[in-house]
Structure 1
């Protein structure tokens, strides 16, 4: 499994970020994001998906080729006659092949993050669809060596050629993990549109099984608010409250960082933001010094913010196509080049707050809240971080919800009011997944 950027030695990190494949993809991302933002008709989406599909399949095949070479070299077998050319390094150096494989793994995730943005836009930025269709295992590499992939592509092409309907391929995304294809039917005169979820089988006789059951549950969760697939008797809950963020602060921070390399700002809700433009910082400092400057700026910001309680810090680094709850970088209200920079980790930011800030905001709404994560304990993805009580009910919060609040710079009073509505009107049992209204006003 490829090493996270935050765990890499600085020399390897530098080599990965500067690799020609990584630089070329960064430039391609800008064009893809710009093209996606112009998509409005089924024809637009179908054409965009073909473009993304070609890039994704090429990246998957290139990585598979390098994996085969690495396996041969590990066994002491000479290079195959049809081995691809390395972009950088000695053909007989296994570490050069490993670097290129890691770069291509990142390229694949970066393209999948564009697929996530395509899904959000196609669903009109309605987070309910993402929350319902994310609850399964992550997809493997998309490759034409899989019969299922070929069948799904053929299905999508047929939907367009015969019915002029956009059929979105889930394997181009990271966030759509239930079902194989979503088909967007032709809108009716009143603007309403049917959205159809398909679990495809090459053999028509193979219609049963757990996959189909999950697909039906996800469809019912969206249609009649039935239970979501997966454990916990989870249900969607509409807070009825418009979503608000402070992402304009991030836009301002990146504009300054583009000139100076680094910028710190305070965000409403007692949060501290640190943004860095790697290229601009590289014009002032070496990589190790840039990292030192980032941490020094963060420390100074914490002194000014005067946070009490346990500090909580999340960053954008290496997050492309990882967190299925978080909105993808490509739909953030930033310039396409800035969104591409976030995906490629040449722009990075961190947001820090404290446990006391969350507890205080919740208590302002007349609710009781406790931070229950033990001191020194790691925040696992499903570990309970906090408990909130009110109206005779109790709910728990996990790491992913906290991470989303920080990295989306969610307005904390809006979020706290949503929690209040959930306790007052939400389902009597099980795990509720709240969502807000009018998210398209943030992301569109």
Structure 2
């Protein structure tokens, strides 16, 4: 099976080649710079356009490199010379400057080399889309319901060579010049999958726009179909209508105000940046952090990893029982750049840009552990019956895993893995999570999913 760009299953040698790749390392600096510029921009139109222009250039460069790498791989598989990087016009060469750096010789005939180059390029593309997702959440004022609704189509493909791209870019510039408003290009994100651009108006409202590259009958029909879909999705944002295409999902916004432990983990991240690792108990969970760059700096990464694992295991035993004790829930930040669109992207976390960039690029790894049994007890103290459904005790679950069943006087619901992931990796406070579930149980028709949109999320993320 071909590797999809993830890190699981890679041996130490390949992991090192990924993380030490010149483009992967350079993108950490690039993402940090983009996040810092976006933070400074606020809602300033000119500054946001500048951030978007740099993001577009970096994304185009990475996508073109991935395209050229795939071509070289096909040629090598056909026993031909890779012919890297291929022919590009002077205009394209200037747009994607400086030239993409390889970690292998440009004339390598090894398929393994070109596969790894492809995986690195694809990782860089996803990491840059994470910056676009941060822009999307900010443009839509941290409205998770809007983001979920507008992510209902298939994930976007590359925009290099996309028909109509010039028209979309032209519309972005035209609206800025005529109206003075910022226009977000959806192709730069992974979460905005409906229509082409979003115009941010001075009053904070958003206008979805479709950009037609031609006036042919087929283009007009397609645009009308997309606009109708957008209308149905927008109607679902307030919860009055189900999301089109899946009658089981009805968006719902809890009255419970979102509170998180994100700011509490800041000192942990600082310590890991200094020492290579850190771990602590924060409220009802154990949070441990590994900083790969710092851990490797002294030339003894294995020793750092062993010390990290020892500290973490001691905390787990002290606060969460021994390994064969209660059901342990555990999530890790690794390979979560392209998460479920309903999950908050790293870019909006109220953390320094360097930490957010390290999380996006997987140089900073966070593991969060909690006890399903303790969570069930918290529900019971609130007067709700709760039963742990996990068959295993080691914390293994995915988004569809049945984790808990919670029941009130009139009805019950199953809490799935996606809600637990949100609880642990968005660092949602349990005293906010449980009231939100309780509130859902009081609805005439409780939502079929348990990933929540809380009240006033802007205050938590901004």
Same fold (TM > 0.5): yes
Q: In the alignment, is the contact (CA less than 8 A) between 1:167 and 1:183 conserved in 2?
A: yes
Q: In the alignment, is the contact (CA less than 8 A) between 1:261 and 1:284 conserved in 2?
A: no
State the 1:232 CA deviation. 4.0
Residue of 417, 423, 436 corresponding to 2:441: 423
Q: Secondary structure at the match of 2:400?
A: coil
Q: Secondary structure at the match of 1:349?
A: strand
Q: What are the Cα deviations for residues 374-426 of structure 1, in whole angstroms up to 9, with x where unaligned?
A: 33896343343332222422223222221111111110011101111121246
State the 1:284 CA deviation. 4.4
- Counterpart CA distance in 2 for 1:109 and 1:157 is 25
State the 1:9 CA deviation. 0.7
Q: In the TM superposition, what are the counterparts of 1:118-137 in structure 2 within 5 Å?
A: 118-137=135-154
- Counterpart CA distance in 2 for 1:430 and 1:115 is 29
Q: What are the Cα deviations for residues 62-100 of structure 1, in whole angstroms up to 9, with x where unaligned?
A: 111111001000011123375487532222243332222
Q: In the TM superposition, what are the counterparts of 1:99-118 in structure 2 within 5 Å?
A: 99-118=116-135
State the 1:108 CA deviation. 0.6
Please name the residue that 1:337 is paired with.
354
Query: Is the aligned partner of 1:32 residue 2:34?
Result: yes
Q: 1:82 to 1:328 in 2, by over 3 A?
A: closer
Please name the residue that 2:51 is paired with.
48
Q: In the alignment, is the contact (CA less than 8 A) between 2:81 and 2:109 conserved in 1?
A: no
Q: Which structure has more RCO (C-alpha within 8 Å, separation ≥ 6)?
A: 1
Q: In the alignment, is the contact (CA less than 8 A) between 2:274 and 2:294 conserved in 1?
A: yes
Q: 1:195 to 1:317 in 2, by over 3 A?
A: same
- Counterpart CA distance in 1 for 2:185 and 2:444 is 33
Q: In the alignment, is the contact (CA less than 8 A) between 2:276 and 2:295 conserved in 1?
A: yes
Residue of 298, 304, 309 corresponding to 1:295: 309
Q: In the alignment, is the contact (CA less than 8 A) between 1:234 and 1:432 conserved in 2?
A: no
TM-score (norm 1): 0.90
State the 1:148 CA deviation. 4.0
- Counterpart CA distance in 1 for 2:358 and 2:451 is 30
- Counterpart CA distance in 1 for 2:373 and 2:265 is 23
Please name the residue that 2:269 is paired with.
254
Please name the residue that 2:167 is paired with.
151
Query: Is the aligned partner of 1:214 residue 2:229?
Result: yes
Q: In the TM superposition, what are the counterparts of 1:90-105 in structure 2 within 5 Å?
A: 90=105, 91-94=107-110, 95-105=112-122
State the 1:241 CA deviation. 1.8
- Counterpart CA distance in 2 for 1:348 and 1:293 is 15
Residue of 286, 292, 310 corresponding to 2:300: 286
Unaligned runs of 5+ in 1: 188-192
Q: 1:302 to 1:427 in 2, by over 3 A?
A: same
Q: In the TM superposition, what are the counterparts of 1:329-368 in structure 2 within 5 Å?
A: 329-368=346-385
Residue of 256, 265, 279 corresponding to 1:264: 279
Q: Secondary structure at the match of 2:420?
A: helix
- Counterpart CA distance in 2 for 1:250 and 1:81 is 44
Q: What are the Cα deviations for residues 246-295 of structure 1, in whole angstroms up to 9, with x where unaligned?
A: 112321111111222111100212x1111112222223463444444433
- Counterpart CA distance in 2 for 1:347 and 1:211 is 39
- Counterpart CA distance in 1 for 2:48 and 2:100 is 34
Q: Secondary structure at the match of 1:236?
A: coil
Q: In the TM superposition, what are the counterparts of 1:235-254 in structure 2 within 5 Å?
A: 235-254=250-269
Q: In the alignment, is the contact (CA less than 8 A) between 2:329 and 2:370 conserved in 1?
A: yes
Please name the residue that 2:243 is paired with.
228
- Counterpart CA distance in 2 for 1:256 and 1:332 is 18
Q: 1:232 to 1:389 in 2, by over 3 A?
A: farther
Please name the residue that 1:277 is paired with.
291
Q: Secondary structure at the match of 2:251?
A: strand
- Counterpart CA distance in 2 for 1:153 and 1:372 is 50
> How many correspondences in the alignment?
437
Q: 1:310 to 1:201 in 2, by over 3 A?
A: farther
- Counterpart CA distance in 2 for 1:342 and 1:58 is 22
Q: 1:86 to 1:181 in 2, by over 3 A?
A: closer
Query: Is the aligned partner of 1:198 residue 2:209?
Result: yes
Q: 1:184 to 1:223 in 2, by over 3 A?
A: farther
Query: Is the aligned partner of 1:62 residue 2:62?
Result: no
Q: In the alignment, is the contact (CA less than 8 A) between 2:185 and 2:197 conserved in 1?
A: yes
TM-score (norm 2): 0.87
